[in-house]
Amino acid sequence: MLVVTEPTIAVIDMLALVIVVGSTLEAFFSTCYLLFTPGTTTHDWRNVWLRYARWLVAALTFQLAADIIETSVATDWEALARVAVIAVIRTFLNYFLEKDLADIRERQQEKEPA
């Protein structure tokens, strides 16, 4: 079982890392671009943040999937507890990030003309 699960966990974590690094670079360069673009609105800034937040939610979801797989092969209670704590923290981060995204989407829909 470990022959399959450990490489799978590593691949999923690597995918999450690629998402975080790629989205961070995209957000950084988009922010730099907006800094030097005349007529930038708060809507432009919000769009950069929303896109970045969506990617972070995706990365957290990937990491949580890896954590779930890791709990299935945990060999002792200490390892299981460590993975469980990390999973809880990631779940809370994901929840509050999703909540912020939903709030922003609601505010944007209220401001859009019918």
Q: Where are the alpha helices (DSSP H) in the chain?
A: 2-35, 42-72, 77-111
pLDDT at 1: 66
pLDDT score recorded for residue 69? 87
pLDDT tens-digit profile of 88-101? 888 888 888 888 88
The domain containing residue 101 runs over which residues?
2-111
Low-confidence ranges of the chain (pLDDT < 50): none
In angstroms, rounded to a whole number, what is the distance separating the alpha carbons of residues 22 and 27?
9
